[in-house]
Structure 1
Amino acid sequence: MFRTRITAALAVLALTTGCGAADMTRQASPFADARGARTVTLSVPSWVGAQANVAVVEYLLEHELGYRVDTVQMDEVPAWDALSQGRIDALLEDWGHPEQEKRYVEEKKTIVRGGDLGVTGHIGWFVPDYFAERHPDVTDWKNLNKYADRFRTAESGGKGQLLDGSPAYVTHDKALVKNLKLDYQVVFAGSEAAQITQIEQFAKEKKPFLTYWYTPQWLFEKVPMTEVKLPPYKKGCDADPEKVACAYPHTPLQKFLNAGFAKDGGKAAAFLRKFKWTTEDQNEVSLMIAERKLPPEEAAKRWVDGHASTWKAWLP
C-alpha cells in the first residue's frame, strides 16, 4: 500500500515520476554499475515515515559499513518497476501492491522479499478528537451523511470534504464514497506535507474535518484523531478497486530487494534484510524530520546515538 533526499537539498530538488517530471525509473546512480563500487541505491517514497527508514539505513550503511548510498525519490508503483530493472536496490516500506508482487516476485523473479520492516501500517478515515468528543456517532460511517455539511469546504462542491493526500498513494476513497452512498467529495491535497498543513490549520481553528490518514504517523501526537469505523475488512473485499465497500486492512509493512542485489550485494544486502524496527522508533525519527525540521542525516545520527543495542543487531 499506502502512501512517501533524504538530504536537505532534496526537498527543493526532488524529482518524481509524474507527468512532465524526470523519469527516475530510467536513471540509475552514476556508480550503480561501476565494478567493485560499494554503492547502494534506495528508493524514497514521499511520506516521512518512509524517509525515516532511509535516513537511518543510509547513515548506518555509510558510517558503519563503508558504503556510498544513492537515493531516488519516486512514487510507489514506479519504484517497483525501477527495482525490477535494477535501477534501485531496495524498497524499505511497501504498503501492499499485489499486482506488482505477483509480476516481479512470483513470475519474473527479478525482485525478492526482504522481510518485515517491523511496522504495521493501517489506512483509515479520521476526524479530530475535539469533534468526535462532541459528536461520538460520527465515528460510525453510517452517520457520516448527517455531518456532511459540517465537513463542507470551498473545494468540495457543496458536499462534505474527504481530504486525501497524493493521488499516487494507495487509496480506495473514491470507490468507498460512491459504493457507500456518501454525500462527500474526495479532495486531494497533493502530498503528505500539503495534507499535514491543511490538517494543522483545521486543528488550529478547531474546525471539523474528515481525512484519509494512516498509522504510524507522527502527526497524531500533535493533532489527536479518532478513526471512523468503515464496514469491516474481509480478505478479498478490496480485490476489485471499483467495488470496494470495506475498511482498509492492517498491513505488516514489507521490504523488497532487487534479486541480483540480494544475491551479490554482500554486507549491504544482509544488513537490509536484518533491518527491522518498531513504530515508536520510526515515529521518533519522523518527528525530528517533519516537526523539528532536522536534516534527515542529523535525525538519523541522534537516533543511532541513542539506540546502539537495536541497530548493532542489524550489522552482518
Structure 2
Amino acid sequence: MKMGHGIRKATFGLAGLAMCIGASASAWANSSDPIKLTLHDWTGQLLTTKIMGEVLKKGGFNVEYVQADYIAQFAGLQSGDLHVAMEIWETTGREAMDKAVGTGKVENLGSTGMQAIEEWWYPSYMEERCPGLPNWEALNDCAEEFGTAETLPNGRYLGAPVTWGGFDDERVEALELDYEVVHAGTDAALFAELESAYQREAPILLWVYSPHWATFKFQGDWIQFPEYSAECYNDPSVGVNPDLAYDCGKPTGPIWKVAWSGVKDKWPGAHSAIESFDMNNDEMSALIVKADLNGEDIDDVVQGWITENEDVWKEWLK
C-alpha cells in the first residue's frame, strides 16, 4: 500500500510539475498563434529552419512551416503573413533583405553563425585542361573545354534554380564571357549533375555553395572573379566593364536570420531564442552529409541534433 501510495504521490507530483511547465511555457509563448517559419529548396535551410522550429516547440510555441520562394518571401515578411526566415545569404539575399529592413517591417535578427560562399566552381581535374584556372580571365580561353553539344563553341555554366538570384546571367554579359548559363531546376538536380560529371571526370562548371557536402566530398576550387563590391552591383561605371554592373564575383559573408518586425512584440521569447540561434559551417555541413549523402530523413537528422544538443538549445530559450 505504501508503495502504491508513493507511486500516486509521485504521479501527482509529476502531473503538477507538468502543469507548471505548461503554464510557464504558455506565458513564455505569449501568443498561441502559430509562428510561421519559411522553408525553401535546399537541405541546409530545411535543417536550420526545422531545428529552430522544433526548439521553439520545446519552449511552448505554436510553429507552422510554410513553403516560400527565397526572394519573394520578403513580401510576406513585410505584411506579417510570414514571420521568420532562417537563412538569408549575404551572397544572394543581401539586397532584398536590406530593402525589406529599410521599410521598418522586417528585422535583421543577426547572423546564424554560418559564413556563406556561393560562386562558380570546377573540379580539380579541369585545371589540366584549363591551366589558367582559377582566374576568371582563363574562362574564355577554355570555353570549348567546358562546352557541351548544346552550347559549343560557348562553354556551359550550370547555375542554380532561377529563384535563388545570384546575377549569373548578368555576370556573363558584363564580363563578356563566352558561356551559356543553364539553370538547374532544383538543388538536387544541380548536385546530381556534379556527382555524375565528377565520377566520369567530365567537364563541368557550376554553382556550388558552402556550407554544403560537395566541398567535403569533391576536390575543386571556386573561380576567382574581380572582387565584389556593392558599387560593382549598383554602379555600371565601377569595375572592369564601364557600361554594365555585376562585372565582379558574388559577395561572401554571414547567413542572416530575419523576421517580421511584429515578432518581438507578439512572441518576445521566440524573438530572443531566434536571435540566440548559432551554428557554424562545420556543424551544418555534418548534418547535410547525414541527410544528402547518408540518406537520413531530414526530420530524423533534426531530432538527432535536438537530442544530442539539449544543453545548447536550452540556452537559446533562456
The 8 Å contact of residues 122 and 221 in structure 2, kept in 1 or not, is answered as yes
Paired AA for residue 266 in structure 1: P
SS of the counterpart of 2:248? coil
Q: Single out whichever of 300-309 and 159-168 deviates more from structure 2.
A: 300-309
Q: Which residue of 1 aligns with 2:113?
A: 118
* CA distance 1:79–1:240, change in 2 (3 Å): farther
Question: Counterpart of 2:101?
Answer: 105
Name the CA distance, whole Å, in 2 between partners of 1:68 and 1:223: 40
Kept in 2: contact 1:125–1:227 (CA 8 A): yes
TM-score (norm 2): 0.81
Q: Which moved more, 1:232-241 or 1:189-198?
A: 232-241
1:262 corresponds to: 264
Preserved contact between residue 156 and residue 186 of structure 1 (Cα < 8 Å): no
| Compared CA separation, residues 60 and 225, structure 1 to 2 (3 A) | same
Q: What is the one-letter code of the residue matched to 2:117?
A: H
The CA deviation at 1:217 is 1.3
- Structure 2: how far apart are the matches of 1:70 and 1:224? 39
Query: What's the TM-score, normalizing by structure 1?
Result: 0.82
Structure 1, gaps ≥5 residues long: 1-34
1:249 maps onto 2:244 in alignment: no
Query: Partners of 2:31 and 2:171 in 1: how far apart?
Result: 50
* 132-141 or 245-254, larger mean C-alpha shift: 132-141
Q: CA deviation at 1:122?
A: 1.7
1:219-258 per-residue CA deviation (whole Å, 9 max, x = no partner) reads: 2222222111111223421125852111111121111111
Amino acid of the structure 2 residue aligned with 1:82: G
Q: Deviations over 1:269-313 (max 9, x none)?
A: 221111111111211222222222222221012222333343232
**1:214 aligned to which of 209, 216, 219:** 209
CA distance in 1, matches of 2:33, 2:297: 24
Q: 1:75 aligns with which of 66, 69, 73?
A: 69
**Offset of residue 144 of structure 1:** 1.0
- Counterparts of 2:255 and 2:192, CA distance in 1: 26
Tell me if 1:291 matches 2:293.
Answer: yes
Amino acid at match of 1:223: F
Identity, in percent, stands at 25
2:123 is the counterpart of 1:128? yes
C-alpha distance in structure 1 between counterparts of 2:131 and 2:62, whole Å: 52
More helix by share: 2
When residues 140 and 271 of structure 1 are mapped into structure 2, their CA distance, relative to the original with a 3 A threshold, is same
Give the 3 Å change call, closer, same or farther, for CA 211–244 of structure 1 in structure 2.
Answer: same
Q: 2:310 aligns with which of 298, 302, 308?
A: 308
Is the deviation greater in 176-185 or in 288-297? 288-297
Mark the runs of 5 or more structure 2 residues left unpaired by the alignment: 1-29, 237-243
Shift of 1:195: 0.4
Work out whether residues 31 and 267 of structure 2, in 8 Å CA contact, stay in contact via their aligned partners in 1.
no
2:160 aligns with one of 162, 165, 170: 165
Larger CA Rg, structure 1 vs 2: 2
The residue number in structure 2 matching 1:8 is: none
CA distance in 2, matches of 1:160, 1:101: 33
Question: What secondary structure, in the 3-state scheme, does the structure 2 residue paired with 1:139 have?
Answer: coil
Q: In structure 1, what residue type is equivalent to 2:248?
A: C
Q: How does 1:19-30 map to 2 (within 5 A)?
A: none
Preserved contact between residue 93 and residue 254 of structure 1 (Cα < 8 Å): yes
CA separation in 1, counterparts of 2:197 and 2:60? 45
Aligned to 1:282: 284
Deviations 1:180-231 (A, max 9, x none): 2211100111121110111111011111211122222112222222111111
Which is worse superposed, 125-134 or 40-49? Answer: 125-134
- After superposition, the CA RMSD in angstroms is 2.1
User: Match of 2:102, SS?
Assistant: helix
Alignment coverage as a number of residue pairs: 280
| SS of corresponding position for 2:162 | coil
Note closer, same or farther for the CA distance 1:117–1:56 as it changes in structure 2 (3 Å cut).
Answer: same
Contact in 1 for aligned 2:213/2:285 (Cα 8 Å)? yes
Q: Determine helix, strand or coil for the equivalent of 1:285.
A: helix
Contact 2:100 2:106 in 1 (8 A): yes
For the residue of structure 1 that corresponds to 2:112, the secondary structure is strand
Q: Residues 166-205 of structure 1 correspond to what in structure 2 (within 5 A)?
A: 166-205=161-200
Shift of 1:47: 1.5
Sort the Cα spacing of 1:102 and 1:195 in 2 relative to 1 into closer, same or farther, 3 A: closer
**Preserved contact between residue 51 and residue 286 of structure 1 (Cα < 8 Å):** no
